[in-house]
């Protein structure tokens, strides 16, 4: 018999809003977990996930998406900068949702859940209520409250906490290491994102915490078995199907990358370049100015951004960041100093070596501090990249001596 009537507000991909009212036969209800592999855009590097609620009897099918946000929402830029980004859950027609991710050439896998009628209804009712305007919004957090963790928590709720118990073992990775598996494709973005985040993502975590990643949620859901009222175990997933297999895509490595040797090599090369320019004739100070302008852009801008985020935002992962010893607002001074050197300004030639000495001294303070347990941030990549540049530039100015101030 028919036992539920519900009204669902659904947001379509093109921004249209329609209302679907359906009478759902319990035996015809299916719940499916959709996992979308990483795409080419930075915001898609970690993949995506959603839930399908499908009525086989009527053909109605909705894709519930917890990853929605809008650049047009009020105060988007300031909220994003301060770490107060609002996301929401919306419901798309499943056909439109799958077509959209397929158009991005992203592999799509669908797991049909093996749940009794009452638990499937529980999920359907929860989602129908959660998608309503007064319930749909949440404060996004990349690691602890995102599209995957929201669905993870639904699974845990309908299995009476068994899903969390199943994933209570220690993870083999930290959150940083899990993240870097997906940033491996770009040395620069890997360094920048890791530079901005502190040691809170270097602490031991559980497999439960790994499921901020859609592919980890998919994996553990496929391995999980829950108990029915009689204590009989059942596989959580009944079947898995590949809806779309993308071509020429990026494969996520099983292990996080080891980028610090490349960082060290780059740091040494950049530092030696500074020495090489310093040995040239006095007429080449403009080239030295360009060199410091580039260093200020490469290290000074991220250092200043990190400083501001750590002091004035809700981005907890930036607080007490050790990388401020390596790059900070003082590093940003290399930009105006470089410009001044390009135009042969005496003040720039006079102050640049003092800034380099100061930056090197601050960076060297970090090395003995790393022996203390509290300085446990996994920032070897930043150290290997930045410290050689500072040390070799200090050597360059030491060799120049008083020449730079008398040009």
* Domain residue limits at 380: 260-406
395 with 286, same domain: the answer is yes
216 with 276, same domain: the answer is no
Q: Is residue 112 part of a domain?
A: yes
Model confidence at 376: pLDDT above 90: yes
Model confidence at 91: pLDDT above 90: yes
Model confidence at 404: pLDDT above 50: no
The position carrying tokens 């500074």 is: 274
State the pLDDT at residue 12: 32
| Range with the poorest average pLDDT among 15-19, 35-39, 86-90, 141-145 | 15-19
Please return the burial class of 170, using the count of CB atoms within 10 Å of its CB with bins 0-12, 13-18 and 19+. exposed
Q: Is residue 183 part of a domain?
A: no
Q: Is residue 143 part of a domain?
A: yes
Q: Is residue 177 part of a domain?
A: no
Model confidence at 221: pLDDT above 60: yes
State the pLDDT at residue 283: 57
Question: Alpha helix locations (H) across 279-402?
Answer: 285-295, 301-312, 329-332, 334-342, 346-369, 380-400
221 with 310, same domain: the answer is no
How much is the pTM? 0.89
Is the Cβ–Cβ distance between 65 and 91 less than 8 Å? Answer: yes
pLDDT digits (tens, 9 = 90+) for 163-180: 999 999 999 999 999 999
State the pLDDT at residue 11: 36
Model confidence at 277: pLDDT above 90: no
11 with 160, same domain: the answer is yes
State the pLDDT at residue 69: 84
How many independent structural domains does the chain possess? 2
233 with 290, same domain: the answer is no
Q: Is residue 65 part of a domain?
A: yes
State the pLDDT at residue 138: 96
| Range with the poorest average pLDDT among 80-89, 90-99, 117-126, 164-173 | 80-89
233 with 265, same domain: the answer is no
pLDDT grade for 54, boundaries at 50, 70 and 90? very high
Q: What percent of the chain clears pLDDT 70, i.e. is strictly above it?
A: 89
223 with 305, same domain: the answer is no
State the pLDDT at residue 139: 94
213 with 343, same domain: the answer is no
Question: Alpha helix locations (H) across 197-241?
Answer: 207-210, 214-223
233 with 329, same domain: the answer is no
330 with 232, same domain: the answer is no
């Amino acid at each position: 018999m028919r036992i539920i009537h519900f009204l669902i507000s659904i947001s379509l991909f093109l921004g249209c809003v329609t209302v679907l009212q359906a009478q759902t036969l319990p035996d015809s209800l299916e719940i499916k977990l959709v996992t979308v592999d990483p795409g080419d855009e930075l915001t898609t590097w970690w993949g995506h996930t959603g839930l399908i609620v499908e009525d086989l009897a009527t053909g109605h099918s909705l894709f519930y998406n917890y990853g929605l946000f809008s650049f047009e929402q009020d105060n988007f830029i300031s909220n994003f900068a301060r770490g107060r980004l609002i996301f929401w859950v919306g419901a798309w027609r499943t056909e439109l949702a799958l077509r959209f991710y397929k158009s991005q050439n992203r592999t799509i896998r669908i797991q049909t859940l093996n749940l009794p009628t009452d638990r499937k209804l529980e999920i359907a009712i929860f989602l129908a209520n959660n998608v309503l305007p007064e319930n749909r919004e949440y404060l996004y957090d990349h690691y602890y409250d995102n599209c995957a963790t929201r669905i993870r928590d639904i699974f845990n709720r309908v299995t009476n906490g068994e899903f969390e118990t199943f994933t209570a073992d220690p993870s083999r990775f930290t959150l940083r290491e899990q993240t870097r598996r997906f940033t491996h494709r770009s040395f620069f973005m890997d360094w920048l994102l890791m530079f901005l985040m502190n040691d809170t993502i270097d602490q031991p975590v559980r497999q439960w915490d790994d499921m901020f990643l859609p592919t980890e949620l998919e994996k553990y859901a496929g391995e999980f078995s829950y108990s029915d009222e009689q204590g009989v175990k059942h596989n959580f997933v009944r079947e898995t199907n590949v809806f779309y297999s993308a071509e020429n895509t990026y494969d996520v490595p099983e292990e996080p990358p080891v980028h610090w040797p490349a960082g060290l090599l780059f740091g040494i090369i950049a530092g030696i370049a500074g020495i090489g320019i310093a040995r040239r004739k006095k007429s080449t100070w403009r080239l030295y100015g360009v060199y410091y302008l580039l260093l200020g852009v490469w290290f000074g801008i991220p250092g200043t951004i990190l400083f501001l985020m750590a002091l004035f935002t809700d981005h907890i992962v930036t607080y007490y960041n050790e990388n401020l010893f390596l790059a900070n607002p003082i590093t940003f001074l290399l930009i105006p100093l470089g410009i001044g050197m390009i135009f042969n300004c005496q003040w720039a030639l006079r102050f640049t070596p003092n800034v380099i000495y100061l930056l090197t001294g601050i960076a060297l303070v970090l090395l003995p501090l790393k022996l203390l347990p509290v300085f446990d941030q996994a920032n070897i990549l930043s150290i290997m990249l930045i410290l050689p540049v500072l040390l070799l530039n200090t050597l360059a100015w030491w060799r120049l001596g008083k020449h730079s101030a008398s040009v």
